[in-house]
Structure formats: structure tokens, C-alpha cells
Structure 1
């Protein structure tokens, strides 16, 4: 288990429409625009033409999506100068800010901001089109709709003047964009632990099957290579997802024990095998010979890790972005001497900062690396680069084989995506690694 801490200090558009066609996602909604009081202008009512696009319409839960909000036409007009002057609004003094309303699988609002980028506008003329961008983290699988919300147009000449445009509360704003998110893949944490690694034919071995859904029907069975043997017993997982059984081992071919849900073992619903040796105690023939037996005792599967804290790089308050770091190096030692491989998984909690503000754990991703020491019988495969999250992900694994074992060095670079304007301070989460 490790503690992670982070410190905080242009989007892609959809394809253009053919001439005369309405671009995909372009909508209109009624708005009420209040000019700055200093301008001495009446409110302006009328339709706003807008368009929202996303850079990734098919993300995974935990991905960061960039959204672009374009106001193509607004009823708001350029404010007059102090005392009703007729000076024009100069170029590049208009800062737009808006909000996008999320609904469906995920609800909430996304704040978007635009750069000061406008042509000169005569006093009293309609304000120009503006483009605003922002990001948000996808937190739920399924379809999420995006609708344009209110926006403000702030000019800094000849003084600070802000025009505020709100959507008509009676008429719901039309949906301008959609995205469909898929759920994060979940790690298989099912495992078996044996009370003994060897025994005589007909002996009973205590087996703990863990990591199953509460109430699941669990089969504990013997295995010889990829095939099951005749040794088998069934049980029901308790409220903690654990089944405790005694497995009679009568088949001399049994070399491992597995546990699984359903009619047969599968990689998604079954545990990895735990090595077990049946000791042949057949007496030698009656003659002048003696049977000599030497036993190599199996060892254990374990891991050690350097350090208990991971400090991520700092990001700036306004920009947000990637906070990089590296987990403490993990050394996995497999001295069991059987056919069972192993897997090392990790999961992370949400990052909690000042005032209870959270950054989702799904915002943390990693790129694993794994190296087998010289002389190891097994190969070591790193997990895929991607999101860690609260549901977990594979850090590294070694496959089953006729005889496996060895020493393996595992590490990973990690990156936390921090949203822009996340309040400054330290944000802390807990990363838990599980070896099975």
C-alpha cells in the first residue's frame, strides 16, 4: 500500500457541414442578455445560436474529455462607452466564459473559458462569435448529453464591463452533443490459499477461496496442468466473498488447486492455481533394495516494496494538467515450485484535498514495467498502460507453466490528470497493491 500526493498551484471540432447545411450539433435557444449597468442599454432578448463539440465521443470512465462551446450568434450588443459614448470595442479585449450542462449517465456543469480574440465591434452592434473550451472527467458509463448554458462576455475597454446572458428557464436548452462512455475493465481478484502445499493421497487440505461476490456458488477443484482432476468440492461465498472448505485430494495427478464460479473455470471468473503436491507413499517391493526419497519443500509467493509514499509533480492552478510520478519498486518472489502463475493488481482511492475537495481516483493512470531476474523459470508481463482507478488494474503477471518461479522487479510511472482551476493544496490518495 502506498500514499500518493499531488500539489496544484484547443479542442478538436466536428467535421464542417456542407455549404447551406446546418453543422451537426448547432442549436438555438432563447436568451436574456443584461448589459453592464454603466452602458445605459436595455436588456437584449433573442435566440443564441450555439454549438458544442467533444474531442472524444466514446471515452472510458475516468478519461478526461475536452469540450468546445461556440456562441455563433448572440442578441447581446457591444456596450457603449461611459456616458453613452460611441467609441468602438477594440480588438482582442473580449473574454467569454460559459457553462455546459451535463445530463444522463453523468450530471453537473462544465465551465468553459475563451481567449481574448475578437475583431473590433462598433458601439451598439452585435457582439461577435466566441469560442470557449474546458475539460471534465467522465465518472459514469452510459450516454451523457451536453447542452449549452448561460455565458458572460467581459470587455476590459474602456473599463471592466460584463454582459451576462442566461438561458430561458421555462424552455429547456436543446442537446448539442452526446458521448457514450464505457466502464473501466475490472481486475479479477479471485484467489485461493492452501493450508498445506503437499499431502498424502486421500488427505484433506484446508482451502480459502477469496475475492468472490458474496453469495456466489464456488467450486474448489484439483488441477493437473490445464485439466481438472477428480478432486472437487462446492461451497457458497460468505458476506465477505470468502469460502472456507476442506478438499479431499485423492487423485494422484493433482498438482494444483483452483476456485471458480459457474460451470467451468475461466480467466475472468476463476482464481489462479495454487501449487499442491501429492506425496506417493507406496512401499517398495519386498527385496534387498531400499526406497530413498528426498523432498524439496515448496516456498511461498510474496512481495516487498521500497518506500511508502509517492510524491507527484506539481501543476499550476489555472492550467491543471498531468502530475507525474513513480511507484516504489516492487520485488515479487515466487518460490512455490508449482505450475501456478501470479498476478499483481492495484487500485487507488479518490484524492482528497483542502475542504474535502476530491479528484477522482479514475484520474490516475500508469505505465507498468516488469523484469524477471536471471535464472527465473517464469517470464514477467507488465500490465497495460491505462487508468488505475478504484476498481483496479493489472500491474504485472506471470503465466502458468509446468514449473514456474523466480524473482521479478516491477515498477510503473504514474500520472494524475488534475482539472484546471483545482483549488491549491495537497491532494492525497491510497494506492493498494494485491499479489495473488
Structure 2
């Protein structure tokens, strides 16, 4: 038997302070800054304080106004640790973050990384991650880039977010110099594409809505907001209208799992000169359901004449929220007892359950499991069936059903039981396993 405690903490990283002075910047762009990482509430871990080592790079250090610049944010060391009690498998960690712009252009750049990691042992630090994103250059001059907060999402057993933020501001890691747009043959500046798009969040589950904010569009223009995968658009799409200041606000439902970015544009299709984005986005595959599988062992006495069968090989108890005590309901697989022995001897069906053990050594006593049995004799049976008393099962055992000795005994009997696992508050989250043994004699 396994019991799953399911919970999801939705947390978002706060906006960091503006980039600090460049004295901490190294020629390679690698910087180090003090960080506090808040583990998910379900992990019951203390905040992790320590240095983050990071580096930001750009694909074009001298773009023109209106150009799209691709930025890469590498975190090579983080104080964040594995948030689950057991080992974290490979390729279940999705990083997202923010890069802070300063100087000639302010704002934030959303960056997202691929779900790629080596296995992480229980209690060990989370690995290095790499995230990328883009932004449109909107003003000439020097622009600084500093690392902002980042979130490390793990999707194993539970969807959990570890949120990390600089505690004293992060130093500048990269710089670029934006040039004015080129001039036309007549000597006037060419019109630069100053359209931009920003996302309220960098990731979400399939079907989640992402808040999209755009700027720099033609006032009153019809704008298409769409998902994008590489150079092609995905099925995600919504229409919007730019207001009198050329700003756009829309909520885009992202249902296509191929979507890796969001763009916005006027006209029939996106282009680098007439559109905004792409802004990085990732669709998270939900953590696999933590079906708590109950292993049931049935012992049969005198199988030729007295037999026991059971539907299904497992029992799933309902999930229970972390922190709250209470009951997790379920039901055993229906048991059928056939008695073709003849004679006067009755039978009894006894259940015993072991303690439920979870990851990290957590234990829920078997006596926490109780049941309410029912037993029905099929038409034509020579005996009546008595259901066991409602109450705890436990390792000592309890009667599920019985037929007393009588002058004539035999027939077919159907036995069911609703089960309830009573949990104390703040039972450690995870999947719990026990064995329920039914003995017919």
C-alpha cells in the first residue's frame, strides 16, 4: 500500500535591487554575490544562504537600436539543495531567471533553461544550470546586465520550486554598447523596431495562462500574440489591440507542449523588424502521478474447496495536503470467498497491515489504518456472512469477514471494505508503502 501526500507551493521570485557597481566584475564576466534560497514549504527545510557564482554573456556586444540580443545566464554554483528526501533523478530540473538591465536601458530579461541535470543525491546541492532569453534594444548607449533572481523547479513526485534571490544586489556581469539605427540614403535615421514583449512568468503547466505585456506597437493596431518553437509558430494564439500608447496586454493560454517562446506582432506574421520577442517560455510536464500502490498478499487455505480471489493488485488512497492532519480515504479490492467444502465448519478472513514507510525513513504506524467491512452472501448460499467490526487494522490484525460453524455451511461471499488512513499534522510528504495481508482459514 502506498499513500501519497500531494502539495504545490506556488512561489515567485522578488525583483532584485538594481545592479551594483562594477567593481566586482571580472574580465570573464563571472561574478559572485550572496544569495538566499527559499526551499518549497513541502520540503520542511531551512533557507539556504551562501554565494551564487554566475556569468552572463551576449551574442552581440555592439547591436543597433531595434536589434534582438540573445543573452545567456549561467549559474555555476548555488546554495540551493535537493528539496526532496530521496535522490533526484536526471533531467527533472527546469531553471528560470531574470537578468537586470541598467544604463541606457532598464528592465528585466526572462531567461529559461532546458530540463537537463545529472542525478542529485538526497541533501546534496543542486547542479549548475544555463538559461537563455532575448530582448530588444530600445536606446543607444552603454547597457549593463546583472544576474537577477532565479527559480529551480523540480518535477519529481511533487512539483517544487526553490526560489533564490540576491541578498545585497548582484554586480554587473556583462556590458554592451547599443549603436543608433542606420541612416537612410537621404541622411535621416532609419526607423528602428522598438517593439518589445515581456512575460509575467517564464514557465507553466500545459494549459496555464501567461500574462504578456508588449510596448512600442502602433497605437490602435491589431496585434497577434503567439507561441513559438524555433522558427515556427505553435498552436497557441490570442488576438489583442494596442492602446493609445502602443502598449499591449494579453493572457495567452499555452496548451501546445512544443512552445518554447512567445512573440507578438502586427500584420500576418512575425519578423525581426515588425514584431516583438521571442521571449523565452517553457511548458512543464506535470510530475508523474504519485499513485500509492498497495501490495496485497492473499493466503488461501484448502484451495480446492475453500478459495479466495481479489480484484486488482493494489489499493490507492486519496492524496492528503501537507500540514493538515486528517483522513486519507480508499477502498480495498473486492474479495470473493467460495466455500464448496460441505459440512459444518465455518471460516474467518483476517487482515493485518504493516507500518507505512516513506522516503527518508518516515513511518506511519499500521494502526493508523482502519476499515469498515461489508459482506454479502450470493443467492443460494447455505450460510450467512458476518462483516467484521469497523476499527483499526494494524499489525495485530482484525476480522474482515466470517461465517460461523453451522449445520450446513457453504456458498459464495462478496466482501468489501472502505479504508481510512488517519494522519497526524505535518506528516512528511512523499509516497508511503505497506503490505496488507489477508488470511483465510
Q: Same fold (TM over 0.5)?
A: no
The normalised TM-score by structure 2 is 0.41
The normalised TM-score by structure 1 is 0.41
